Copies of this chain bind each other. A is one copy, B any other.
Amino acid sequence: MGNPIGEQTIAFGNPPIIVGFGNIVGPKEGEGLLKEYYDEILEDSLWGEETWEKAESKILNTAINSAIDNAEIVKNDIRYIFAGDLLNQLIASTFAIRDLEKPFFGLYGACSTMGESLILASMAVEGGFADYCVAATSSHFCGAEKQFRYPLEFGNQRPLTATWTVTGSGAVVVGNKGNGPKITHVTPGKIVDLGIKDTMNMGAAMAPAAVDTLVTHFKDTGRNPDDYDLIATGDLGMVGKELVVELVAKEGYNLGANYTDCGVEIFDSKKQDTHAGGSGCGCSAVTLTGYILKEMAKGTFNRILFVPTGALLSPSSSFQGESIPGIAHAVVIENI
């Protein structure tokens, strides 16, 4: 039975198990720093589809099926699917999940969605509501640019604070039996908004939410940053990561060499022209299901804190003068 601790955290008495996971990425990600960790690397971003949106659905569907295969279960063992993406009305997820014929909870936490889906899948399993659930998310550079910024054909310049939306999808099967690392704690995050309005600097907009969730997690659990082999925030990129280190220190916690950000790890920013780093729901999802969980399987890391971050804006909210609220959800994964 889940045990609420502190302000926001849940400590799972019977920790759900990550019994399988899978991912797939686009060509640019396949040339990045974590290329050896992906299950599949696409040769082109359309993957035989007519539109980027349809390609994203195919990518997400493939990642989910890959995670189910990796878990050595069959589709019918899955009870519920928790997933979301960046496209308006979650069409990447809807059309990805349509043919899976399983109950679907559509989620939107911007780029924090991998955290949101893992938390809810864990709650469903630990609460006794399901034996196996899928948690998944995706993003696609071309679809995201078109929807949130400019048409690709326009060729806009990007400031150095901008990040590059990852094309890719990661999926996890969470179960109540089987082998794998366990989800022992979760700290769902609240919306934090310090008034930043620069849509080309999402790292700065999301950093305060990451700080809030990290500090709340440390207080709720009585743990310190050095209790973790790895702390990985979602997709703050280089600008946001530096802010997090600074702001967490002001709260009395020192993030050391064990702290990184998925957006910093994923691309070779200098060679790949990705400026401040990677972003998008897929960024933390493929880094988790690639680098992090594969290194956990080797024993490189045994206790990690995964904190995907999201910027809860829309083009309409920015046009209407609103600032950019952030959110971050924390998930502890342990080899126990």
Q: Which of A's residues lie within 8 Å of B, judged by CB? A: 1-4, 8, 10, 50-51, 53-54, 79-80, 84, 87-91, 94-95, 97-98, 101-110, 116, 119-120, 123-124, 126-131, 147, 188-191, 193, 312-317, 320, 322, 325, 327
Contacts and interface: CB of A to CB of B under 8 A. Distances in A.
Given A130-B4, A313-B89, A325-B94, A106 B105 contact: no
B120 A50 contact: no
Nearest to A3: B128
A116 B104 CA distance: 9
A190 to B, nearest CB: 5
B80 A312 contact: no
Contacts of A327: 104, 106
Contact of A107 (B106, B124, B193, B313): B106
A279 to B, nearest CB: 14
A87 B51 CA distance: 23
Contacts of A10: 129
A57 to B, nearest CB: 9
A126 B124 CA distance: 10
Nearest to A85: B108
A91 B314 contact: yes
Given A89-B313, A123-B124, 19 more contacts: A1-B128, A2-B128, A3-B128, A4-B130, A4-B131, A53-B316, A87-B314, A88-B89, A91-B314, A94-B317, A103-B188, A103-B189, A103-B190, A105-B109, A106-B108, A106-B109, A106-B327, A107-B107, A127-B128
